[in-house]
Structure 1
Amino acid sequence: MIKQVGDTTINLKHKASCHCGSVVLELDLPNGIENPRRCDCSICRRKGAVVASVKLSAIKILQGEDELRLYQFNTHTAKHYFCSVCGIYTHHQRRSNPEEYGFNVGCLEGVNPFLIPEVPVNDGVNHPADRKAVA
């Protein structure tokens, strides 16, 4: 889908893929990459990806759904998906907001996440869902 804003044409649909190309996603990003970040929780620290989020309806698997594998740990709330062929993390259903997917910005076609200036790091070690409510 294409959106015209003044004299600028914006592509709302973006493709993302794993390293080997077995898994291909289509993402609806009407405002581009919003809120890119890293996380220092145990899994994110190891994968080192820059992530951004979209609503669940904004990701469509175009190819390779049978190649995706699910990994869950701790509370089993978040659902982390990766390609079973090349091992690349593509996206995850977020623990802090299960109505959103986090996606690996490095999987977007034509995007180099190292060129995004000042990517903040979220404190995933002290996840908000782990904090007890103050009475």
Structure 2
Amino acid sequence: MAEAPMTWKSGGCHCGAVRFDVLAPDEIEVKECNCSICRMTGYLHLIVPAERFRLTKGADKITTYNFNTGTAKHHFCSVCGIKSFYVPRSKPDGFSVNVRCLDDGAVTVTRITVFDGAHWEEAMAKIAHAKEA
């Protein structure tokens, strides 16, 4: 099956101090995680390789928060507090973009898949096992 064509989409934080572009199809599937930080912020994940993400504004406005294993790098705008993207634990060489922070109309979400991030190790083991089958 051929991959859908992709174009650069723009997004950013609430105040506009942080802006980014992400290379993505017009129609996407996203993940909703139930871990404490994603649940509390309503984050919808579009996980991409690093070469499909570029920070275009506000590197000096980003503050980073780590917890648990410290692998994930939760980047927030130091002005408005919005986490529009971060480095996820599941893909530390890529980025997770909060689809809710993309500019209006940039993408259409066709499906939301729930990820059990509250039980991260078990959930990742199930995914690995499913890939082996």
2:69 maps to 1:75 = yes
Moved over 6 A (4+): 129-132
Taking structure 1 as reference, are residues 25 and 41 closer, same or farther at Cα in structure 2, changes over 3 Å only?
same
Q: Give the corresponding residue for 2:18.
A: 23
Deviation at 1:129, TM superposition (A): 7.3
2:82 maps to 1:88 = yes
The separation in 2 between residues aligned to 1:11 and 1:37, in whole angstroms, is: 19
Matches within 5 A, 1:1-135: 12-29=7-24, 31-32=25-26, 34-111=28-105, 116=109, 118-128=111-121
- List gaps (5 residues or longer) in structure 1: none
- The aligned amino acid for 1:100 is G
- CA-atom RMSD in angstroms: 2.6
The separation in 1 between residues aligned to 2:90 and 2:106, in whole angstroms, is: 26
Q: Pick the structure with greater CA Rg.
A: 1
What count of residue pairs does the alignment treat as equivalent?
Answer: 122
Taking structure 1 as reference, are residues 28 and 72 closer, same or farther at Cα in structure 2, changes over 3 Å only?
same
- List gaps (5 residues or longer) in structure 2: 126-133
Deviation at 1:99, TM superposition (A): 2.1
Identity level (%): 33
| Bigger fraction of residues in helix | 2
Q: TM-score, normalised by structure 1?
A: 0.78
| Bigger fraction of residues in strand | 2
Conserved? CA contact 2:27–2:110, under 8 Å? no
* Structure with the larger RCO, 1 or 2 (CA within 8 Å, 6+ apart): 2
